[in-house]
Structure 1
């Protein structure tokens, strides 16, 4: 196994991995349009922060990746990236994404009426860094995820970062156990994620934080 930062030559293979790596998780695909999802959760990291994008290579092929950001100010916000993707890919007129965003709007309206918290980004100077990590099925249990996370946390220590946060689904118990083992602890409430369903049920956001 090799853990390294991404190169320009990895672009196509990494994009292919992005579409399959989350298979089986509650957030496998948010609205069923991988190209627009990559425009939010992969491409900006590749273009702006390649030194914080790590890949795991097993037997010569890419099997996992971690997109990291040392400080949220280095990237457009998730809301900005999402708005651009919705406009660029005309998601409101695509049946699958349109259903997702319509449901998300109704979920948000209900939450506002009931004065319930909703999922969103964490902006806290104690944990300015964040990450997204995905490992495909064949690499789970091989140590690839541990190695990717270790490489990222080592980088944060080198940079003198005060801390890092991530957001996963509380229903993804495998992921929560993994992040706990890597030193992250739950933080804040677990609000429902507008629009998202898994097996017909609501999915909830779990924020977790880490400090060196």
Structure 2
């Protein structure tokens, strides 16, 4: 297995990997349109900070990736990225995606009426960096995810980053266990994610943080 930085020749394999790496998780597919989902959670990292994009390769095939950002305050927010994807991919004109975003609007309004917290971006100067990581099913348990994380931590140390955060789902217990092993700790609260359902139940956003290692 090789852990290395992304290069332009990885683009096709990375796109294919994105479409299948989350299989079995609560976010395997959000609204059933991989292209628009990738436009939010993958493409901006390729376009804006490719030097923080890492890949795991086995026998010439991409089996995992980590899309990182050294300073989330300088990166387009998730709300901005979603809004752009909705417009460019005309998601409200597609039945499945329109149903997702319609449900998200209802969830958001209901939460405001009840004065309940809602999921969203996390910004804190103590943990400015953030990441998304995904590994194909056949590579789970091989050390690919840990290798990507270790390489990412090295990059953070090289740039003097004070800390890193990520956002996952409470219901994604496998991911939570892995992130905990890698030194991340959860922050409260864990609000529901508007529009998202997993096996018919609400899904809750969990923010986890990891400070830099002492020098």
On whether the aligned pair clears a TM of 0.5, the verdict is yes
Aligned match of 1:84: 84
Please state if 1:177 is matched with 2:196: no
Runs of 4+ in 1 over 2 A off after TM superposition: none
Counterpart contact for 2:21–2:137, Cα < 8 Å: yes
Q: How many Å separate the matches in 2 of 1:12 and 1:27? A: 22
Q: How many Å separate the matches in 2 of 1:4 and 1:186? A: 28
Q: CA deviation at 1:59?
A: 1.8
CA displacement 1:101-155 (0-9 Å, x = unmatched): 0000000111111111000000111111000000010000000000001100110
Aligned match of 1:31: 31
Structure 2 gaps of 5+ residues are none
Aligned match of 2:165: 165
Normalised by the length of structure 1, the TM-score is 0.99
Structure 1 gaps of 5+ residues are none
CA displacement 1:29-88 (0-9 Å, x = unmatched): 111111011111111111111110000001220000000000013321111111000000
CA RMSD of aligned residues (A): 0.7
Aligned match of 1:133: 133
Q: How many Å separate the matches in 2 of 1:95 and 1:170? A: 28
Normalised by the length of structure 2, the TM-score is 0.97
CA displacement 1:158-196 (0-9 Å, x = unmatched): 100011100000000100000000000001201000000
- Aligned residues, how many? 212
**SS at 2:127's partner residue?**
coil
